[in-house]
A and B are shown apart, each in its own frame.
Chain A
Amino acid sequence: MPVTDARSPATGRRTPAEEAREPGGGLAVALWATLKRDLVLLMRRRSEVLNPLVFFALVITLFPIGISPDPQLLATIAPGLLWVAALLAALLSLDSLFRGDYDDGSLEQLLLTPQPLPMLALAKVAVHWLLTGLPLSLMAPVLGIMLSLPAGSYVTLAISLALGTASLSLIGAIGAALTVGLSRGGVLLSLLVLPLYIPVLIFGAGAVQAAILGDGAAAHLAILGALLALALMLAPWAMAASLRISING
């Protein structure tokens, strides 16, 4: 949040109310401040950042145990498994996206700033992606080796996850914003959000499959990018509306 200069004009003509409305340095400052604040907060609670990654690794460990350790079988289902597990891991951390801010009241302050709420919410989602989606996509190739994912699809796996988890964070943030005011929003959140995740899952896992087969991965990645562009365009508005509902209710 931008810290406004309290010792402003000596003329003293402006009322405190006017001063409060004065944007303290424009949108860029506000965005940067929101980004930095959220990054610092999350880096102080490292376990929250690490939990989705551990969950991802654990779920991937469960599949060979539950299905079969046969490398050939695992190789055929690896793209889907990796994608589903990463999706669930990203979902796991969504509930806390606005929860802390809601509990300590800083979300209300965010709503009161003169800056557009959709942009500020977008900054929060960007932090969520940086600390969840990006690490997940970097970690996925390692787990891919363990599932004997065929060679040549590792880069596609990482890129598809990086693109896809950004869309997942954006879509999921709408659900998180809708349920942040509810005491037990966690299960409801997954009910709201998972159906909307399906297109991303289809094209994400499809990209990896296509890379294994040897053609068409670029088309899938392009569609993932298109989905991301669409989500970037529309989701912030839905998020802002949902946050207003959750706060005013």
Chain B
Amino acid sequence: MWAFINKLRSPKWFYAIGARLQPFFWLAAVVLILVGTVWGLAFAPADYQQGNSFRIIYVHVPAAFLAQSIFVSMAVCGLVFMVWKIKVVDMAAAMMAPLGAAMTFVSLFSGAVWGVPTWGTWWMWDARLTSMLILLFLYLGVIALRGAFSSRDSASRAASVLAMVGVINIPIIKYSVDWWYTLHQPATFTITGRAAMPMEMWAPLLIMVMGFYSFFIAVTLMRTRSEILRRESNKRWVRDLATEER
């Protein structure tokens, strides 16, 4: 553990190890997402109530999972950065944020699309929708705060603090929104496909979730590596790398 943290201090090491790990995660992402998509869209049985429209969960649920996990990983990166001042970790957090916001948007949008045939409306002030919307605003806040500072070090530390504050608040927001929803509107819609799902529907979903996670790791590795090159462009090893490749 300590050895790993100490190694993380070296962007060069991360750059090299990232290069080795990246292909595996890309391969896993492509294969899993392809298998999951084909299985989920073509072979999984249609829902007895929602028909084929339930199939949107194969995009919606993995995106929602990622949206939440990415924020937590951002906060963990923020903590590690604040405690050990490891630059690579902050670069990774910076690169995760837009992907997380995009995933939140995807899950909101797919939820809205799913809502049209199922609820008959694009938007409901449903507890889950509402807390996802708030999560999107939290992401936008972190991204905007990072962009607002002219000094990179302050930007990194401010974004880390905000991510940590946000992650403490996410459960509070989630539970209060749940309570607000039960107080204001009775839960008339239960999402039938989700509570008890037969194996044939559930397996492709699991594959899609794993595929999305691999995609997230692959993209983060790739973007962090380019960010390392950008931020360390005046270091010797980066220059050597550039001359080698020429």
Given A178-B158, A227-B172, A249-B154, decide whether A191 and B141 contact each other with a Cβ distance below 8 A.
Answer: yes
Q: Which of A179, A191, A196 contacts B140 (CB 8 A)?
A: A191
Structural contact, B154 and A246, CB atoms closer than 8 A: yes
Given A174-B165, A196-B169, A242-B158, decide whether A249 and B153 contact each other with a Cβ distance below 8 A.
Answer: yes
Give residues 122-141 of B contacting A (CB, 8 Å): 134, 137-138, 140-141
Give residues 174-203 of B contacting A (CB, 8 Å): 176-177, 179-180, 183
Structural contact, A199 and B172, CB atoms closer than 8 A: yes
Tell me the nearest residue of chain A to B149, going by C-beta: A249
Kindly specify which of A61-69, A103-111, A127-135, A181-189 makes contact with the partner chain: A181-189
Say whether B161 faces chain A, with CB atoms less than 8 Å apart. Answer: yes
Structural contact, A194 and B137, CB atoms closer than 8 A: yes
Q: How many angstroms from the CA of A218 to the CA of B169 in the assembled complex?
A: 23
Given A179-B148, A185-B148, A191-B137, decide whether A198 and B177 contact each other with a Cβ distance below 8 A.
Answer: yes
Given A178-B161, A227-B172, A241-B161, decide whether A195 and B134 contact each other with a Cβ distance below 8 A.
Answer: yes
Q: How many angstroms from the CA of A214 to the CA of B157 in the assembled complex?
A: 47
Q: How many angstroms from the CA of A196 to the CA of B166 in the assembled complex?
A: 7
Structural contact, A195 and B179, CB atoms closer than 8 A: no
Structural contact, B154 and A206, CB atoms closer than 8 A: no
Nearest-Cβ distance from residue B127 to partner chain A, whole angstroms: 11
Given A242-B158, A245-B158, decide whether A188 and B172 contact each other with a Cβ distance below 8 A.
Answer: no
Nearest-Cβ distance from residue B42 to partner chain A, whole angstroms: 39
Interface size class of A (residues with CB under 8 A): 20 to 34
Say whether A84 faces chain B, with CB atoms less than 8 Å apart. Answer: no
Residues from chain A with Cβ under 8 Å of B157 in the complex: 241, 245, 249
Q: How many angstroms from the CA of A241 to the CA of B158 in the assembled complex?
A: 9
Residues from chain B with Cβ under 8 Å of A246 in the complex: 154, 158
Structural contact, B176 and A203, CB atoms closer than 8 A: yes
Structural contact, A206 and B183, CB atoms closer than 8 A: yes
Chain A 218-249 interface 0/1 with B at a Cβ cutoff of 8 Å (1 = within): 00000000010010001000100110011011
Nearest-Cβ distance from residue B166 to partner chain A, whole angstroms: 7
Residues from chain A with Cβ under 8 Å of B177 in the complex: 198, 202
Say whether B112 faces chain A, with CB atoms less than 8 Å apart. Answer: no
Residue in A181, A195, A246 whose Cβ sees the most chain B Cβ within 10 Å = A195
What 7 A-B pairs have minimum CB-CB distances, sorted nearest first?
Answer: A249-B154, A199-B176, A195-B137, A202-B180, A192-B141, A245-B157, A202-B176
Show 28 residue pairs from A and B whose CB-CB distance is below 8 angstroms, ordered by the A residue: A174-B161, A178-B145, A179-B148, A181-B149, A182-B149, A188-B144, A188-B145, A191-B140, A192-B141, A192-B162, A195-B134, A195-B137, A195-B166, A195-B169, A196-B166, A196-B169, A196-B173, A198-B134, A202-B177, A206-B179, A227-B172, A234-B168, A241-B157, A242-B161, A245-B157, A249-B149, A249-B153, A249-B155
Residues on B facing A (Cβ under 8 Å): 82, 134, 137-138, 140-141, 144-145, 148-149, 151, 153-155, 157-158, 161-162, 164-166, 168-169, 172-173, 176-177, 179-180, 183
Residues on A facing B (Cβ under 8 Å): 174, 178-179, 181-182, 185, 188, 191-192, 194-196, 198-199, 202-203, 206, 209, 227, 230, 234, 238, 241-242, 245-246, 248-249
